[in-house]
Amino acid sequence: MPTIFESFVRPVMTFLAKPEILVPMMGVLLALTLKYYRVVTQPKWAALIGLAILGVFLGSCFETNFRKNITRPDNIPIVLLLFSVFFFLWLSLRRAAVNDEAAERGEPPLEAVHRRETVLVWPDLVMVELICLVILSAVLLFWAVGIRAPLEEPASAALTPNPSKAPWYFLGLQEMLVYFDPWYAGVVLPTMIVVGLMAIPYVDMNPRGNGYFTFAERKFAISIYLFGFIIFWIVLITIGTFLRGANWNFFGPYDYWDPHRQVPLMNINISEIFWVKWMKTALPSEWYIREAPGLLLVMGYFLVVPLILMKTVLKPLAKPLGAVRLIVVMTLLLFMISMPVKMLGRWLINLKYIVYIPEYFINL
Amino acid sequence: MSKRPSATNNDPGFLYNQKRLLKLFTVSSAALVAGIIAMILADFDRPWKHEQRAQLKWEAGKLALEAFLLETTTQQERAGLDEAREAARKVIAEREAALAEARKRVEGAQGSFYGADMAFKAQKQYTGEAQYGFDEAKSTADAERAAARLRRERDEEKLLGIAAREAEEILVKEQEALKALEKDLDDLVARERANPSLKRLQLLAAAVEKKKGYSPLREIPLLDFLAPPTRVEQVVLENLVDNYEFSTPKRVDRCGTCHIGINRLGFEPEKWPTEILSADAGNGEKVARFEEAVYRFVYGLIDSVHPPASRGGAFAREEALLRTVEIHHQALGMMFASYDRSDGTIGLDKKTGRKIWRRWQRDEGKGAWVSGKEGASVAEQYLSLLQRMESHWRTHPHFGQMVGDASPHPYEMVGCTICHNGRGWSTDFGFAYHTPDRHRVEDWMTTARAHEEGRHLPGNVDQTLEEAMLHGSGGAPVTTGWVTDHGTGDSWEHERGWTHEKTHHWMWPQLPGMLVQSSCLKCHKEGYLAAAEPEYADVRIGRPDPAQPDTGEWGLHAKVNYNDPAAEQAGEYAGRMFIPQEKPAYRPDALERGLDNFVSFGCYGCHKLDDTLYPFMKQVRSKAGPQLDEIARKTTREWLQKWVWNPKDFRPGTRMPSFFGLSNNSHRFTYRFAEQGDDEVDGVEWSKAEAYALVEWLLEKSGRDAYPAVDLSGADPARGEKILVGDYEASAHQAKACIACHDVPIQTPELAVDREKLASWVDGATHRTMGWKGRMARRHGPDLAGIGSKVSKEWLYHWLLNPRGYWHEANMPDLRLTVDEARDVTAYLMGQRNAAFDALDGLELNQATLRKLAQELKVGEQQESTSQALGIVERMTPKEQVLYVGEKLFKHYGCFGCHEVSTFKGATPIGTELTEWGSKLIDRLAFNHAPIEHTRFDFAYAKLVNPRIYDHGMAMRDLPFERLKMPRFGFSPEEARDLATFLVGLVNDPIPAASAYKPDTRRQDIIDGRLLVRRYNCQGCHVIEAEGGDIWPAIAADKWRPPTLLGQGIKTQPSWLFRFLENPAFVSIPGVQDSDRVRPWHSIRMPTFHLTEAETRKIVRYFAALSGASADFDPIEPDSLTGPAARYAVPQTRLIPDPADKTKRVEVRVSNRLEEARALFKTYDCKTCHVTGGDLTKAAPNFRHAHAGRLRETWIPTWLWGPGKLQPGTAMPGFFGERAPEAQDKSYFGGDPAEQIRALRDYIRHHYREED
């Protein structure tokens, strides 16, 4: 058993958990889920998938490092988060599948059946809220008594803990810092996220799907949202919590977080790829010549790609949205896609920066 | 939710099933209540509360007993006490009345004085006016009248002046009377307050109060906020801080919450009845013995409170009270000591208690003052308390030194964590970061030792030791940590949920007991700080003061001012006596040894230690090893090669470390040779080429000019041997105590020193380390066995004559040998060869390997491109390659850290700076793959024992010169442990100036002196601070022993000591003969150390400071100038104590003190032993020096009174002490010992003539 575990299970799991595998894999799984949502959300399939995940999870608990990691008082909420996200994703897609099937049959959605104009504040609303409050308080009390606050070393400007981790809700951002410069991952992207979320009501011209679960009627919006939320938020938080160890190095789920582990860092810039590798010359000394390839790429991304998108994927949206909305959606989309693009660059060609102008502190 | 409502859309009926909702609400509410209860229980159940509850219950039991015992004695006392109080009050009232009267009188006197004084001062004005008038009228007709007026006024002034003075005298007298009255009254009040009965009643009241203070009612959850019986005991340390880099909050220690006895007396096991400690409650006979012990103990207690004779009557109450308290403390101790955790019982129960009680009642308790029930209850309660005492409630084991209010480190000032580390404000066992005391390293040391046993230590490759460290004795790793260890850590896991994991988040987990000493360095950066200081007692010689009980065997009293003129007048000589401490209160011995090792092994040569932080570093020699600039004059190429290859082949105990043949450079290894591709290299061959090159470079470097040839023909090796060993009997002026510093090879069996004895003496009496089994004993200087194999005879001869001529920092003193003596010693030592070493082969040059080395090093310089560098090497001649490699390696291995070589003058040390090593984060220590427990101590320890251990399991690094290069010193496990203790203490912990240790001048003198005493190995010959005298056992007769220097500071005058140290034999002073020396019979001569003036002064000040005397040079002692001359010239009478009744004094007429003193001197036959004139065979110091500015005035009487106390084992008989009153001749000076001593002193110092 240990030999099979050591020779097979551990390496496979470590491989699967690598960000360059895990993120695309989750992306593909999500895409498949959305494509076959009517099938996989059927209770038997969902239960099967759920049980499989639970089985792997519980089976892994026999491994010491994994067990220690998930039972660390800090990490328990993240475990709960994983299971609840899975549950609610199923719930919403299941409801959507039921409603979409009903719609195809010409029937009203489930919510329409349940709908009523009024309910009584007491007891229907207040009582339920009260029960919720009481249960939540009881849970928190038991939690606080049972699991002690995980105290760490006293904060010190000179001594940072290793690994230094952000609060769990920022771990996604921290993971992005691996791929981007701080001003981009820490300022631009979060700003775009907030702005984008605020913009949704204004750019969403689709009148359907209000007040009931549906997927068929809002495929584009839901897909984009789920990719953003599940892949670029939840998965990154998971990676940051469970798979990023000492020195922010990657560790497999069953690995001990050894602070002395050596990891090669051999990332290079586009300018180096272009000039040194392809052109076989030294880097030009002037930054605008040196970074010309990168700058062209960025310009191309923000100018040419929209045109292509407009002609292809977003073509059906162009008309209903109108120019301003289209440009806003396009920009948000480009920024969102820039993330996987850069990540792929890192994973595939060890890309460090597309544009690297330390002279002006601009790195992309 | 799943149930679908049947109502239509607009039906305002209930959305949910109300019954189910209510049920859900009920259940969830119940859960909430349960949660709240759980919260309250969790709070109630906190471990420290548990702890305190147990303590409180225990203490309540103790207080109940105390109260019971106090009650029974006080009942009968109260009435008497009230009476006494009433009487005292009356007296006080009377006194107060007298006081009021006295005050009134003072006021009156003041009034009269002011009046008289005013009149006097006014009259002075009139006199002045009259004077002026007189001057003006001198030549006028009024002259006569003016003169008359002046006379009148002057008379008046005189009278008024007298009146004013009289008034003033009256005033002063009245004031004094008032003061006396006030003092009287104060005394009375104080005495009244100190009444033991009163105290006892107060104690009782306090006990009752405290007992009342504990009530389980106050613990009831939710009510316990009112007056909780359990509470966190914390101490906020005003002057100590926690260091969080960005802020430094005050330290808060809450350790006292659970360690209740830590800063209180009464919980110390040392004080507990030994018979109970040793009694084992196992079975049969032992149980009986145990019961017997308890019986005697418990009823001894009762008896002490109520002595059988006085039972039912009046007791010696005050005594009884004190005994009660004291014995009670013993009882507490007994309880603790007998508590055996392993099975939780001591084999005693209530039944046994009753049994014991019945026995007491039958035997002794007839007519007892307590009822049978009460008595049984006392016994039972004691036994029950006994079983419930926890070991961590004990008093701090070094209470007097560490935590006590009167100690230098009071609890309120220093707390706990500043020394012990851990997290002071935690009240949770785990989060306080406790660490088991029994460190696994001890096992490790045992294992390492077992592995060392069978093998030749100096051999190559310390593989075995490494294996021992990595794999332990039984194959299981010893180093996998606390968790698998079946030491204390294991039982903590079971009992308290302790895991090593928990210590992860705190940078300063508690230090295990064996390392606590390292914390001393935080404040005491001076090094030998802290060592216990010698104790002093002021002594008065003569009649003991009846008011002060005799504390010594011959009249030792504390707190007597020896300069008190009154005591002097009364004929009582006084002096200050040095009392060597037998057992220092607390001494950080491991830390001191670590520091010693750090200095003597020259660790500072490679590892910098900031001397502004650690001032003792300013006093160490610049290099620990000898200079190498002239090595070619000293030895041969072959010897050097073998020595560099492995010094321990030649001299197992040498401090010179081995660089080659170690675990990371003895294997075959593959590396990318000079970036030219893989190459396989034999590590041993490679190392040999390195050693070869090093030697060649050294020889090339060192000067070629040889010493002039020395002809040893006609030299007498046998005499040389005697000089070396010290044949004290046979050869005056020849013996040199070389064995004090060196191991000396001895060939003549008669001369052989009992080495076992010598070794054990060294081990026991000094704190120099011996290694295990004495095999690795390191004396101060090198072992001289086989020295003939090493040095040239020319070098040795010149070295013996003038060691500092070869190297200015040599520790070897100038022995002042004659040329002939030097020849003899040289001849003898050159005959001592190390045959085994001679038989070893030297190194041969493998030019190919050497070229590789040269290429590797040249490429490694990164000054040229690889091909250029290789080209440079190619163009070198073979010789140049060797020298190039030698110089590079000399630098690479940092040889210049210990050896002075002109090429590398001022080069930067190569090792890690250690100034703040103890603060280094554990994550930043490169343990690599060595399975060593990740603590700073373990890192240092393993590194010291096997310096290359962290290359273990590392794939050989590409560049051979990247491997670890610290050499192997061959530390014994103890040496390594002590050094590691020292290293762990080198922390960066900001201690505010207010709390840092600032030695006063005297302490600083002691600290400075200790460093010098160690550097020059004074303790090799002399006993200083009750340590040393290493060569004593080797010396047959006491009289040849070097003098003990106990109390040296009060004995000799600083100026004399200074001159002596500069020139111990006074050799170059014209006209000084042997007969003029202090100990002319002594054949060992103290060598000349050529100390600098500053060093000499430091040593003089050190001795003075040790004895608590002044180091001011040449203090003028009044007696030496005026006293005797005046006193002895004329006959006089003296008041001396009546020999029959010492409380009275009688007047004796002394016809001529000088004559009487001379007669007394003859009576005691001092000259039988003391050297006088030309006879040098006697064995007591020369009297000449008594008045040659050598001895201090006050020392002689002290010495005469008790020679044995000042110098244990001295041959000087005591004539006066109370030990030997019969030896005293009573026919002089009225038989008064004090008077006789004084007469002898004066006679010896001022009037002694050789013909007497």
Question: What's the rounded mean pLDDT across residues B1070-1094?
Answer: 73
CA distance B254 to B259: 9
How far is CA A46 from each of CA A33, A43, A94, B1072, rounded to the nearest angstrom?
11, 5, 9, 112
- Alpha-carbon gap, residue B755 to A229, rounded angstroms: 83
Which ranges of B1063-1114 does DSSP label H, i.e. alpha helix? 1093-1106
Specify the pLDDT at position B343.
36
Helix (H) or strand (E) holding A204: none
Structure tokens at A162: 């290793």
User: What are the tens digits of pLDDT across the range B849-908?
Assistant: 899 889 889 988 888 888 898 899 999 999 999 999 999 999 999 999 999 998 898 889
* CB B462 within 8 Å of CB B944: no
Do A159 and B921 touch, CB atoms closer than 8 A? Answer: yes
Q: Are B770 and B759 in contact (CB under 8 A)?
A: yes
For residue A357, give the 3-state DSSP assignment. Answer: strand
- CB pair distance less than 8 Å for A141 and B32: yes
Amino acid of residue B69: L
Mean pLDDT value across residues B70-89: 64
Residues 6+ apart with CB under 8 A from A341: A301
Residue B298: predicted pLDDT = 56
The predicted model gives B174-188 an average pLDDT of 84
At B917, is the pLDDT very low, low, confident or very high (cuts 50, 70, 90)?
very high
Lowest mean pLDDT among A11-25, B232-246, B345-359, B927-941: B345-359
Cβ atoms of B800 and B825 closer than 8 Å: yes
Q: How far is A56 from chain B (nearest CA, A)?
A: 26
Summarize pLDDT for B570-579 with one digit per residue, the tens. 434 433 344 4
pLDDT tens-digit profile of B687-738? 899 999 999 999 998 876 778 888 888 888 888 888 887 655 554 445 667 8
> Which residues sit opposite B1135 in a β-bridge?
B1147
- pLDDT at residue B193 greater than cutoff 80: no
Return the structure tokens found at B318.
């005050």
Q: What is the pLDDT of residue B642?
A: 93
CA distance B107 to B87: 30
Q: Return the pLDDT at A34.
A: 95
Query: Which pairing describes strands B1145-1150 and A356-357: parallel, antiparallel, or unpaired?
Result: unpaired
- State the Cα–Cα distance between residues B665 and B663, nearest whole angstrom: 6
CB-based contact A128 B31, cutoff 8 Å:
no
Angle at A248 between CA A243 and CA A250, to 5 degrees: 40
Residue B225 near chain A (CB below 8 Å): no
Burial B315-344 (b: 16+ CB within 10 A, else e): bebeebbebbbebbbbbbbbbbbbbeeeee
Query: Given a cut of 70, is residue B367 above it in pLDDT?
Result: no
Q: Contact B458/B664 with Cβ under 8 angstroms?
A: no
Give contacts of A 174-203 with B, CB under 8 A: none
Backbone φ, ψ for residue B293 (5° rounding): -65, -45
**Residue A309 CA: distances (Å) to CA of A163, A301, A312, A316:** 41, 11, 5, 11
Mean local confidence (pLDDT), B379-398: 67
DSSP code string of B807-829: -TT--PPB----HHHHHHHHHHH
A116 to B21: CB separation less than 8 angstroms, yes or no: no
Spacing of C-alpha B177 from chain mean position: 50
Query: Which pLDDT does position A323 carry in this prediction?
Result: 86
**Cβ contact B24–A131 (<8 Å):** yes
Higher pLDDT, B662 or A116: B662
Shortest CA gap B525–chain A (Å)? 25
Q: Which of A123, A157, A159 minimises the CB distance to B921?
A: A159
Residue B1129, pLDDT > 50, answer no
Q: Cβ–Cβ contacts within 10 Å for residue A27, how many?
A: 16
Q: 3-state class of B1147 per DSSP? A: strand
Contact B245 A260 (CB under 8 A): no
Average pLDDT over residues B1131-1159: 66
CB B1167 within 8 A of CB B1091: no
Q: Give the span between the Cα atoms of A55 and A40, in whole angstroms.
A: 18
pLDDT higher than threshold 60 for residue B2: no
Amino acid at site A42:
Q
Average pLDDT of span B251-271: 77
CB–CB of B923 and A162 under 8 A? yes
Instruction: Classify the complex by whether its ipTM is higher than 0.85, answering yes or no.
Output: no
B25 and A134: CB-CB below 8 Å?
Answer: yes
Q: Is B132 on the interface with A (CB under 8 A)?
A: no
For A227, other C-beta atoms within 10 Å of its C-beta total: 19
Q: Please indicate whether residue B251 or residue B444 has the higher confidence score (pLDDT).
A: B251
- Alpha carbon distance A220, B983 (integer Å): 66
Query: Which secondary-structure segment (H or E) carries B94?
Result: helix B47-137
Partner B contacted by A91 (CB < 8 A):
no
pLDDT of residue B194: 64
Beta bridge partners of B579: B535
Distance of residue B985 Cα from the nearest chain A Cα, in angstroms: 20
- Quick check: B39 and A144 CB within 8 A? yes
What are the strands, taking DSSP E only, across B970-1103? 1023-1024, 1027-1028
Q: Of the segments B442-446, B520-524, B605-609, B802-806, which one has the largest average pLDDT value?
A: B605-609
B506 vs A contacts (CB less than 8 Å): 153
Contact yes or no for B244 and A156 at CB 8 A:
yes
pLDDT over 80 (residue B115): yes
Neighbouring C-beta atoms of residue A264, cutoff 10 Å:
6
Looking at residue B675, the DSSP 8-state letter turns out to be G
Top-confidence range, A130-144, B130-144, B335-349: A130-144
Cα nearest neighbour of B24 on chain A: A131
Where is mean pLDDT largest: A29-43, A173-187, B646-660, B965-979?
A: A29-43
Asked whether the beta carbons of B715 and B827 are under 8 A apart, the reply is yes
- Nearest CB to A124; choose among B15, B431, B923: B15
CA-closest candidate to residue B884, choices B869, B899, B897 = B869
Q: Which residues pair with B681 in a beta bridge?
A: B669
B571: Cα within 13 Å, side-chain hemisphere: 24
Confidence at B503, pLDDT banded by 50, 70, 90:
low
- C-alpha B179/C-alpha B594 separation (Å) is 59
CA separation for the pair A231, A85 (Å, rounded) = 12
Torsion region of B537: left, alpha or beta (phi above 0 gives left; psi -120 to 50 gives alpha): beta
What is the Cα–Cα distance from B285 to B292, expressed in whole angstroms?
10
For residues B256 and B348, what is the distance between their CA atoms, to the nearest angstrom? Answer: 30
Alpha-carbon span B140 to B678, nearest angstrom: 132
- Is pLDDT at B551 greater than 90 in this prediction? no
Can you read off the two tokens belonging to residue B262?
A: 């830590």
- Dig out the tokens for A32 from the structure: 């498949």
Name the strand (E) or helix (H) holding B74: helix B47-137
Chain A residues with beta carbon closer than 8 angstroms to that of B5: 114
Chain B residues whose beta carbon lies within 8 Å of the beta carbon of residue A157:
245-246
> What is the residue-wise DSSP string for A270-288?
HHIIIIIIIS-SPPPSSHH
Per-residue tokens: B240: 């100590």
Secondary structure, 3-state, B539-608: EECCCCCCCCCCCCCCCCCCCCCCCCHHHHHCCCCEEEEEECCCCCCCCCHHHHHHHHHHHHCCHHHCCC
How far is the C-alpha of A354 from the C-alpha of A345, rounded, in Å?
Answer: 9
Alpha carbon of B509: minimum distance to chain A alpha carbons (Å): 11
> What is the interface size between A and B, counted as CB pairs within 8 Å?
92
**CB-count burial class (<10 Å; 0-12, 13-18, 19+) for B478:** buried
Question: What is the C-alpha separation between B666 and B1062, in angstroms, rounded?
Answer: 51
Q: Does B1130 touch chain A (CB under 8 A)?
A: no
Identify all chain A residues contacting B242, using CB atoms and an 8 Å cutoff.
154
* Between B843 and B364, the higher pLDDT residue: B843
- Interchain CB distance below 8 Å, A155 and B244: yes
Rounded to 5°, the CA angle B172-B173-B177 comes to: 115
Question: Chain A residue closest to B39 (CA)?
Answer: A145
Amino acid at position B152, single letter: R
Most B CBs within 10 Å: which of A98, A110, A122, A127, as the mutation test of the B interface? A127
With contact defined as beta carbons under 8 Å apart, do B434 and B493 qualify? no
Q: Please state, in angstroms and rounded to a whole number, the distance separating the CA atoms of residues B1081 and B1040.
A: 8
95-124 in chain A: CB under 8 A from chain B: 113-120, 123-124
Q: Pick from A129, A153, A257 the residue to mutate for testing the B interface (most B CBs within 10 Å).
A: A153
Chain A (245-274) residues lying within 8 Å, Cβ to Cβ, of chain B:
246, 259-260
Q: Which amino acid is at A100?
A: D
DSSP structure class, residue A212: S
Q: How far apart are CA B1229 and CA B1220, in angstroms?
A: 18
Q: Ranked by mean pLDDT, which of B6-10, B134-138, B833-837, B1127-1131 comes out on top? A: B833-837
HSE-CB of B710 using CA atoms within 13 angstroms:
23
* Contact by Cβ (8 Å): B786, B837: yes
Confidence (pLDDT) at B545: 36
| pLDDT above 70: residue B1024 | yes
Q: Which of helix, strand or coil describes residue B1011?
A: helix
* Mean pLDDT for the stretch of residues B1114-1138: 50
What whole-number distance in Å separates Cα of residue B574 and Cα of residue B569?
Answer: 11
The answer, for B14 touching chain A at a CB cutoff of 8 Å, is yes
Residues 1210-1249 of B with CB under 8 A from A: none
Please report the beta strands in chain A, taking only residues with DSSP state E, as ranges in sequence order.
356-357, 362-363
Cis peptide before A163 (omega within 30 of 0): yes
Cα B319 to Cα B303: distance, rounded to the nearest angstrom: 12
Predicted local distance difference test score (pLDDT) of residue B728: 55
Q: What value does the mean pLDDT take over residues B344-350?
A: 41
Q: Measured on CA atoms in the order A244, A247, A250, A255, is the torsion positive or negative?
A: negative
Q: Is the Cβ pair B505, A152 closer than 8 Å? A: yes
Q: How far is A127 from chain B (nearest CA, A)?
A: 8
B24–chain A nearest CA distance, Å: 7
**Do the Cβ atoms of B10 and A138 come within 8 Å?**
no
Question: Which residue has better confidence, A2 or B921?
Answer: B921
pLDDT in tens, B269-284: 544 444 443 444 444 4
B989 contacts chain A (CB < 8 A): no
Tokens encoding B268: 């110390």
Flag whether residue B505 sits within 8 Å of chain A, measured between CB atoms: yes
d(CA B1137, CA B1232): 7
- Using pLDDT thresholds of 50, 70 and 90, give the confidence band for residue B189: confident
Look at B16 and A128 and tell me if their CB atoms are within 8 Å: yes
Verify whether the Cβ–Cβ distance A138 to B926 is below 8 Å: no
Beta bridge partners of B252: B236
Task: Check CB contact of A157 with chain B, cutoff 8 Å.
Answer: yes
Pairwise CA distance, residues B845 & B693, whole Å: 8
Q: Which residues of A touch B932 (CB under 8 A)?
A: none
| Confidence at residue A143, expressed as pLDDT on a 0 to 100 scale | 93
Instruction: Please tell me the distance in Å from B506's CA to the nearest CA on chain A.
Output: 5
Tens-digit pLDDT string for chain A (364 aa): 557 888 888 899 999 999 989 999 999 999 999 999 999 999 999 999 999 999 999 999 988 889 988 988 889 999 999 999 999 999 999 999 999 999 999 888 888 777 666 778 888 889 999 999 999 999 999 999 988 877 777 777 777 778 888 888 899 889 999 899 888 888 999 999 999 999 988 888 888 888 889 999 999 889 999 999 999 999 999 999 999 988 888 899 998 888 777 787 778 898 888 988 898 888 888 888 999 999 999 999 999 988 888 888 778 877 888 889 888 989 999 999 999 999 999 988 888 899 988 888 888 8
- What is the per-residue pLDDT for B62? 65
Percent of chain B whose predicted confidence (pLDDT) is above 70? 61
Q: Tell me if chain A has a CB within 8 Å of the CB of B16.
A: yes
